[in-house]
A and B are shown apart, each in its own frame.
Chain A
Amino acid sequence: MADQKEQETSVFTEEVIKEVIFRVHRFSPDDGKPPRMQDYKVPVKRGMTVLDGLHYIRDNLDSTLSYRFSCRMAICGSCGMFINNLPRLACKTQILELEADTIEVKPLPNYEVIKDLVPDLSDFFEKHRSVMPYLIREEEEEKIDPPTNEFLQTPDELERFLQFAYCTKCGLCLAGCPTVATDKVFLGPMALAQAFRYNSDTRDQGFEKRLELLCVPEGPWRCHFAGSCSEVCPKGVDPALGVQLLKGQIVFTKLGLKKPHKIAPLATEKPEAKRRPGIPEAPPRTVKKSEKL
């Protein structure tokens, strides 16, 4: 009896709670038809996400539906979509929490559409690449993989940029950005927040190099501080804040009011780490290690 009651109240019940209409954007560059919306009836169980709903459609109703996903747990940032008029991750959006009988699923705005719900993110990643989003060091030996040793960074120094390191590059911030909507060349909140993230990292020495790339009309100066990017970020990152801090970083440096940050020194000794008893050896590497980056 107790088991039965537990089963009834379990969140993992398989009972269909309601039926929802999925109104899905369909477009294929090959069939010559204009983009259209197509309706599918999806039985919803407790705990189902919009991504689960799309899986249901693909597996049972229409195998031609294209969408992008990977980890199903809001880590990889692949399944960004425009769900009921907001950019969201499909894997993180519970259908029942939308409290709607019709769920409209479209590809992310501000991107070209490759097919159905798949946006073309190549421009987005190109903008990211353009701000040199990696640690730049002056010492030649530190550019070799593996570097000679660890860089020493205090927890306080880490705290200055940590939240921006949680960015999964899902592209939702650019989909929500009103400036990107009209200005396609604007670098956008993700790339700019990442520029701030690396500029603020004490292990990095690339501020001067990034400065040249950021002091362009399509740089942080175009940001109106609407804050939509922060509103839609599924990881709780505040890219709008990052862009404002980046403006301050550049301006105060230019005015001579801000000194370059302290550079994290290289650890002189290798940290001693001993394997705990009972922990097996790691399996051999499956990818050949390159000598240089």
Chain B
Amino acid sequence: MREPTLWIFHILAGIIILIFLGIHMGIMHLDTILTSLGVGYKNPLNWSSVLIRNKALFFTITYILLLGAALYHGFYGLRNILFELSLGKSAQKAVNWLLFFVGLFLFIYGGYAAIAAYVI
């Protein structure tokens, strides 16, 4: 019964990526349009602009959510690719644990960066 749950999370992660990556792309590349509408940041790649976003709680939360969703979505896809190599049960188990720990490490590391930028 675990497979449908993993697949549901995969789809949910895809939706989260679609929303937050959309916001990210909008802020980064549609700055002229957004600022003319009174939202967004001028020159989003300027250090001062990056700093403003890093100090905003909304962005810290979205960074962490996007990081988690992207990691899960990507690693679930990688798991599928590896499983298609007709792996045995023990190899499947090893792949599951390996991807889980690598994903967890990257999430903690990336999450720390987002939180540290907010706090410091």
Contacts and interface: CB of A to CB of B under 8 A. Distances in A.
Interface string A158-198: 00000000000000000000010011111000000000000
Interface residues of A, number: 17
B118 interface: no
A221 interface: yes
B5 interface: yes
Interface string A194-234: 00000000000000000000011101011000000000000
Interface string B3-14: 111111000000
Contacts of A217: 3, 83, 92
A16 interface: no
Contact of B83 (A222, A250, A251): A222
B37 interface: no
Nearest to B6: A221
Nearest to B85: A182
Contact of B7 (A179, A182, A185, A251): A251
Contacts of B5: 254
B46 interface: no
A208 to B, nearest CB: 12
Query: For this complex, into which size category does the number of interface residues on chain B fall?
Result: 10 to 19
A185 B6 CA distance: 19
A247 interface: yes
A215 B4 contact: yes
A78 to B, nearest CB: 28
A251 B8 CA distance: 7
Contacts of B80: 221-222
A255 B6 CA distance: 13
Nearest to A186: B84
Contacts of A215: 1-4
Contacts of B4: 215, 221, 250-251, 254
Contacts of A186: 84
Interface string B82-106: 0111100000100000000000000
A216 B84 contact: no
A111 to B, nearest CB: 15
Given A215-B1, A215-B2, A217-B92, A247 B84 contact: no
Contact of A183 (B3, B6, B8, B86): B86
B84 A179 contact: yes
B1 to A, nearest CB: 5
B45 to A, nearest CB: 36
A219 B3 contact: yes
Given A222-B80, A251-B8, A254-B8, A184 B3 contact: no
A216 B3 contact: yes
B84 A183 contact: yes
Given A215-B1, A217-B92, A222 B6 contact: no
Closest 3 CB pairs of A and B: A183-B84, A182-B84, A221-B7
Given A217-B3, A219-B3, A221-B3, 16 more contacts: A183-B85, A183-B86, A184-B86, A185-B86, A215-B1, A215-B2, A217-B92, A221-B4, A221-B6, A221-B80, A222-B83, A222-B84, A247-B7, A251-B7, A254-B1, A254-B8
Interface of A: 179, 182-186, 215-217, 219, 221-222, 247, 250-251, 254-255
